[in-house]
Amino acid sequence: MSSMGSMNVVINNNRKLLKNGKRKPFAKSLGGYEKSSNYKPYVLPEVSPHVLRRIRIKIKRQNRRLLIRQIITVIIVGLLVSYWFSRI
């Protein structure tokens, strides 16, 4: 059997189980969830577009600085390792 044929067989078997009542639906087996009464959804504050733009620029600047530091660190470590191997 091909893979498509086996997938169709599985789907049909699952449908037959649900129709005949031999298998409980997934929602009924869990029993459901109760919403807690003390749940309070967090509401994000409204932010103006220019503030978002400034945050985006600041994050890009921080990421650029971090990338430069990482590149410098890798170069220094690479130079030290190559110097160490050249002395051996």
- Give tens-digit pLDDT for 1-50: 567 888 888 888 877 777 666 555 555 555 555 555 676 777 888 889 99
Is the separation of the CB atoms in 17 and 23 below 8 Å? Answer: yes
pLDDT value at residue 22? 58
Residue 23 included in any domain:
yes
pTM for the whole structure: 0.47
Residue 20 included in any domain:
yes
Residue 8 included in any domain:
yes
Is the separation of the CB atoms in 1 and 8 below 8 Å? Answer: no
C-alpha–C-alpha distance, residues 7 and 64, integer Å:
48
What does the pLDDT look like over 72-88, one tens digit per residue? 999 999 999 999 999 87
Q: How many domains does the chain have?
A: 1
Residue 58 included in any domain:
yes
Is the separation of the CB atoms in 18 and 25 below 8 Å? Answer: yes
Residue 37 included in any domain:
no
Q: Domain residues for 20?
A: 3-27+47-87
pLDDT value at residue 6? 86
Q: Which residue has the higher pLDDT, 63 or 43?
A: 63
Q: Is the dihedral of CA 13, 17, 18, 20 positive or negative?
A: positive
Residue 39 included in any domain:
no
